[in-house]
Amino acid sequence: MGMHEDLVRLSEVAAGFSYSPYSRFKVGAAGLFENPAGNQKIFTGCNIENAAYGPTNCGERTAVFSAVAEGYLRLIKMCVFTPTETASSPCGVCRQVMNEFGPDAEVVCTCNNPDAIILTTVAKLLPNAFGPKNLGK
């Protein structure tokens, strides 16, 4: 199995861990990240809702935050899965977070329908993004 297939499979598994009792909209994410030493690792995440709504966290951000917490600061590719008939693109907040760590990262959105795949990049999802480059980083 190739890296792409691994990310798709792991994002589907991650969706199964979704804690979404309010929206009932499950999201799983799997991202390939790289640390400063050049080592690569896959991190997964799911959406985690909260009764207060504001503290809810999306699957993509859960994966990014897990990666960063282990020192993997470069996002290379993110796969997002929803058990729906149409693929769902990351929300605006997730796009901004992914831009922070991988403005050129690939983004693959999949669902139960194999013909409804979205293939794009963070840069296309968030054109003219504000990020580290704006602060001279």
Active site residues: 60
Across the beta sheet with 74-81, the strand order is 40-46, 28-34, 74-81, 106-110, 118-121
Q: What is the DSSP string of 41-68?
A: EEEEEE-B--TTSTT-B-HHHHHHHHHH
Q: In Å, how far from its chain's centre is CA 29?
A: 5
Please, which residues have CB within 8 angstroms of residue 6's CB and are 6 or more apart in sequence?
30, 42
